[in-house]
Amino acid sequence: MDFELNEEHKMFREAIRNFAEREVAPLVKEAEETETFPVQLFPKLGELGYLCPGYPEEYKGGGLGKIGDCILIEELARVCAGISAGILVQGGLGTYALFAHGTEEQKQKYLVPAIKGQKIAAYGLTEPNAGSDAGAIETTARREGDYYIINGTKIYITNGPICDFVLLAASTDRSKGTRGISTFIVGRDTPGFTATKMRKLGTHSSATGELVFEDCRVPAENLLGEEGRGFKYMLEALDGAKISHAARNVGLAQAAFEASLDYAKQRIQFGQPIGSFQAIAFKLSNMATQIEAASSFLYQVAWLYDQGNECRKEAAMVKFFCSDLAIGAAEEAMRIHAGAGYLAESVVQRYFRDAILGHTTEGTTEIQQLVIARELGLG
């Protein structure tokens, strides 16, 4: 593997970094305070071809693969992890199964508008009684003629309150367990579909909601792929999503480090910058080293993914590793900033609140460790 990004990827990193600093950064304060996602970013990113860089150009994507996805999410997370979460879903869980298994008609109707930023996507899997045990979902889809009747509830759904459509996991035959799970494209305007905003400790600018489906009549043509293959589609999508989530955590860790390095150079105690004291200098040295290691690991796994390799173990590893990185970096940032970091207006307290989510979303850390153990032949 060539550990140097190619020229196209380098140009994209520069472009998206400039966009994030110019177009996203000014929106963060209001988005965090009002707990709303700035939806105008979807069409803005889409018009520039930045929204879903991993998809092929034939569907209006950037053709930059998973490496391109990771560059996008890392740079957005350096500015705001909450906003990056909504974009992450748009180019990943909310659309991947559609790209991989949808009909050409479905792709033109939903995928292309999503890549252009004209439609917002979400992915409905987690339920009140089914999280890590995804195979235990209780949402059902019953076939009636040319329609499926869907009933159930989904929670913690990123983009849920603002989505135009959701890729929904529902059981078409509960007696078959995971082999009875199917995936459906459900439009926001479907009668019986309601979304309620959920408030959170962190990632305030990410729109998260509870989705309720009450006798939703979904056309049979909105079945994605084959009936009973939804669980397989979910696992495929999650592998890519874990890598993108790792990029989010690398970006968040980088932001925490940069804020801390700047503060350590400016904060004067005992007549000198606190960065001149070994206690602080060693913290920053350690942060910088861990971020460098995580970044190399991240792009190695993204490269493996782009080569078409099955990397379930590596995706779990990098998600697990980078989640720990972000949490550790955010905690060290709080220590370096001390009282200044604890103030509500401090940016590092946001990093601290946002980072802790890394142990939960896209599969808990414990689930990642279980996946890794199984891939090692231990279970």
268 DSSP assignment: E
The residue annotated as part of the active site, out of 75, 362, 366, 375, is 362
Mark whether 214 is an active-site residue: no
- Asked if residues 363 and 238 have their Cβ atoms less than 8 Å apart, the reply is yes
- Asked if residues 252 and 329 have their Cβ atoms less than 8 Å apart, the reply is yes
Torsion of CA 93, 78, 361, 32, to 10 degrees: -100
**Considering only CA atoms, which of 147, 145, 148, 139 is closest in space to residue 171?**
139
Largest interatomic CA distance in the chain: 79
Whole-angstrom distance, CA of residue 355 vs CA of residue 323: 7
DSSP-assigned states of every residue in 8-50: HHHHHHHHHHHHIIIIIHHHHHHHHHHT---TTHHHHHHHHT-
**Considering only CA atoms, which of 328, 329, 315, 176 is closest in space to residue 259?**
329
**Considering only CA atoms, which of 315, 154, 130 is closest in space to residue 241?**
315
Question: What interhelical angle do 81-90 and 347-355 show, nearest 10?
Answer: 40
Q: Return the SS3 of 187.
A: strand
Sorted by sequence, the CB contacts under 8 Å of residue 327 that are 6+ apart come out as: 355, 356, 358, 359
Where in the sequence numbering do the catalytic residues fall? 362
